[in-house]
Amino acid sequence: MGFLGKGLLGLAGGLALAWSGLWFGAAEYSRQQAAAWFEAQTLSGRLAGHDGISMSGFPGRMVMQLDAPYLADPFLGLSWAAPVARVEADLPLRLRLPMAEQHTLMLGGHEVVDLRGRGMGAELRLDGPSLAFAALTAGAAAVEVDARAGWRAALAALDLTLEAAPGAADRLQLEAQLGGLRADFGALAALGLDRADWAEDWPLADPLDLRVSAALALRAPLDRHHAADPVPEEIAVEALGIDWGAARIDGAGTLNVASDGELTGRLDLRIRDWRDLMARIVALGLLHPDAGETWTNALATMEEGGVLDLPLSFRGGRTRLGPLPIGDAPVLRW
C-alpha cells in the first residue's frame, strides 16, 4: 500500500474514531439531560420516574429508551404511565416518538383509564442551525379508551400533518383528519358534561368524523430563537368538514387571534340535515328541550331546502350562529 493509500486509511480511521467519540458523548449528554428533566419534575412537586434510560443506534442514529416511565401532576390530577417510551433521532434533525400500544392515564385525580391503539406516534423535523420548524406528523389507529369506572370511548383513526411553507417558518399548513370518534355518556361526564334527565343513548351510537385544512400565520418564525406565544395570529380555514349521523357541516373562513388570545372573525357554514343535529344536541343535554324547540323554530325560518347557510362569528368576546347567540368566544392561549 502506497503512502497515499496509508494516508487515506489513517484519515478514515481518524474520522471514524472522532465520530465515535462525538456519538457516545452526545448519547451520554442526552441521557444525562433526560435524567435531569425527570429530577426537575420531582423538585417542582410532580411525580416522575422510570426504571432506566438506555441509548442505542450507533453509528447512524440515536435512540433513547425509557423503561416504565411515569409522570403525574397532583395539582391537576393528571398522570400517565407506559411500559416503555422511545425517542429516535437522525440527521438531518428528525425526531420520532413511536408510542407503546398501551398506556394508563388518570384524569381529574380519580378517573383511571386504559388506552390502547395501533400505530400511535409522532415525528418532528427541524431544519438548519436555527432548528427551524419544518414538519410535524402524528397518527393513530384503532384507539380504545376503557375507564375503570365503566365508560368507554374509541377513535378509528387520526392523521395530522403540520408543515412549514417553503422558506417561511412563520407560515404553517395544517391537514387533520379524525375518523370514527365514539363516546358514551360516561366519557362526556368525565369531561365535565352532565347528562340531562331527558338525554338518551342514541346520539352517541353514530361515529363523528372531522376534517380540517387550514393555513396558520405565526407572529414570528418557529425556531430555537422563538420567544413569542406560538398561538397563530391568523387561521385561514380553507376547508372544514364534520359528519355526524345524517348531519353534515362544511365551512371555511378566516379567524384572527389577538395578542391576549381573543378570537375574532367568522366561518361560513353550510349545515345539511340540521334538524338531526339539533336533536342530538338536545339529547346530549347541551340544550334544554324547550330551548331546543325555540332554536329549531328560529332556524327553520332561515333554512332553504333543509340546508342552513349561516356564519359562525366571533366578535366582542361573543359567539353567534347567524343572529343566534351561543356564548362566550373561545380564548386561545398556549
| Size of the chain, expressed as the number of residues it contains | 334
pLDDT value at residue 3: 47
Taking the C-alpha atoms of residue 108 and residue 191, their distance in angstroms, rounded to an integer, is: 9
Provide the sign of the torsion angle of the four alpha carbons 233, 159, 276, 239, taken in this order.
Answer: positive
**In 3D, which of 213, 104, 84, 207 has the Cα closest to residue 157?**
207
pLDDT value at residue 320: 92
Taking the C-alpha atoms of residue 84 and residue 31, their distance in angstroms, rounded to an integer, is: 15
Find where cell 344536541 sits: 281
* All three cell numbers of 213: 385544512
Amino acid at 262: E
Element (H, E) at 181: strand 168-183
pLDDT value at residue 211: 97
pLDDT value at residue 259: 84
pLDDT value at residue 110: 78
How far, CA to CA in Å, does 263 sit from each of 66, 161, 229, 254, 327? 40, 23, 15, 11, 13
pLDDT value at residue 81: 92
pTM: 0.81
Name residues whose C-beta falls within 8 Å of residue 311's C-beta, 6 or more positions apart in sequence: 253, 266, 267, 268, 269, 320, 321, 322
Taking the C-alpha atoms of residue 250 and residue 308, their distance in angstroms, rounded to an integer, is: 11
* All three cell numbers of 303: 333554512
Find where cell 362544511 sits: 250
**In 3D, which of 62, 54, 61 has the Cα closest to residue 84?**
54
Q: In order along the chain (334 residues), what is the average pLDDT of each group of 10 residues?
A: 51 63 84 91 90 88 91 87 89 84 85 92 87 92 91 93 87 96 78 59 75 93 74 94 93 93 94 89 78 89 91 93 88 77
221 phi-psi bin (left φ>0, alpha ψ -120 to 50, beta other): beta
Name residues whose C-beta falls within 8 Å of residue 37's C-beta, 6 or more positions apart in sequence: none
Domain range list for the chain:
1-88, 89-328
pLDDT value at residue 48: 92
* All three cell numbers of 175: 391537514
